[in-house]
Chains A and B, each alone.
Chain A
Amino acid sequence: MLKRPSSRRHSSPQEIQINLIPMLDALVTMISFLMYTMAFLSLSMIESPLPIVSTEENEVQLKDKPLQLTLTLREQDVLVWSPFELIPQTALPNRPDGSIDILRLHERLIEIKQKFMAEKKLILVPRADTSYETIVAVLDAARSLDRTDPVLSILNEKTGVREQVKQLFPETVFGNLLGGTD
């Protein structure tokens, strides 16, 4: 139905404009806050306790021989061994450039973990001239499990459910920290 002539308007419809300025203010404030509180340096840490010197009493109290998995970083290779000879002693030769074969070491540690699923401790014995970068790389290989690694699981005795193991040997101690051989 046509409108009456009196109701027809010839003026153009008014454009509705949202006031964006308060919204802009809020955005700028939020961006400033986020940039101020943001951690641009992404750090991680590897925790290591100070080794405790064992006494004779402790040795007597031990019922089962512990694994005491030890990695000795030598000039030509890495020695993987247990003082109680629970695993065969393995020497993993370094690469031709002298650096540690981290991949091979990681594989060997997974093999050991598969036999001693409950074991979490590892003793690292670096040489005096081992760099901090090498120590961190070895600790990474000894602690973390990659996605490409086989899935490891352990039976939780409380719940009776098998649970996935997420780390290899996360509790690392420096074996020669309080003295001893390099």
Chain B
Amino acid sequence: MAPARSIRQRRVRRKIHKDFDLQLTSMMDILVIILVFLLKSYSASTNSFSSVPGLAMPASKSEQLPPDSLHLIVTPEAITFEGVRVIEFAQSAESLSSGQASYSFKTEDLDEGGMRIAHLYDALTKAREKAELLRAKSSARDEKGNPLPFDGILAIQADKRVKYDTLRKIMYTAGAARFHTFRLLATRIE
């Protein structure tokens, strides 16, 4: 039960409540400063690429912004294509003990003399066929009335420690699946 207040106390409380006025001017100042900062550093994103936990990307001076395209991520553990994990790297005892990723493939995952990554080839081919089907159904046509050709662009977002041997196998596989342009992604140096 609440303690009984004296009439005097009640009057004091009422008086304080009546005079109370939230100072919005300072809050406005803060918000305007935040807004100006955001507008200054604003850069609208035209792609769906995002950072991946555990992925250390290299830095580049290139000023070309990557437009949206099919997206392949090479992390120390696996290769992910369009959000689906297609290949897991073989983990050797040495790499597990040292904590350094080996980026080596399992023998059964490779074909064509160890150059092509079979599961990745399947995933890329499926994505190309899907894109070609969508283009065939689309009303957009070229000058001769044919469906627009498959753009064949693959964005590769890889860890900076990935060796060229791994990248070469990925690009070779993509080339076999009729991808002809590779966009190597890096963190932009301002």
Residues of A within 8 A of B (CB): 20-21, 23-24, 27-28, 30-31, 34-35, 37-39, 41-50, 126-133, 135-137, 139-140, 143-144, 174, 176-179, 182
Contacts and interface: CB of A to CB of B under 8 A. Distances in A.
Interface of B: 24-25, 27-28, 31-32, 34-35, 38-39, 41-45, 47, 49-51, 58-66, 115, 155, 158-165, 167-168, 171-172, 174-175, 179-188, 190
A128 B175 contact: no
- DSSP majority for the A interface? mixed
Report the 6 A-B pairs with minimum CB-CB distance, sorted nearest first. Answer: A39-B45, A133-B160, A128-B165, A44-B188, A45-B66, A133-B58
B65 A128 contact: no
Contacts, number: 155
B28 A23 contact: yes
| Best-buried of B39, B174, B185 by chain A (most CB within 10 Å) | B185
Nearest to A176: B168
Contacts of A178: 172, 175
Given A44-B186, A45-B62, A131-B160, A27 B168 contact: no
Given A43-B185, A44-B60, A44-B186, A132 B24 contact: no
Given A139-B184, A140-B60, 6 more contacts: A30-B35, A38-B44, A44-B65, A127-B164, A137-B58, A140-B61
Contacts of A132: 58, 158-164, 167, 184
Contact of B188 (A27, A31, A42, A137): A42
21 contacts: A20-B28, A31-B34, A37-B44, A39-B44, A41-B187, A43-B187, A44-B64, A45-B184, A45-B185, A46-B184, A50-B175, A50-B181, A127-B164, A128-B164, A130-B163, A130-B164, A132-B162, A132-B167, A136-B186, A143-B62, A177-B168
B165 A129 contact: yes
A21 B35 contact: no
A48 B122 CA distance: 22
A21 B47 CA distance: 36
A144 B62 contact: yes
A49 B175 CA distance: 10
A30 B35 CA distance: 8
| Best-buried of A28, A31, A136 by chain B (most CB within 10 Å) | A136
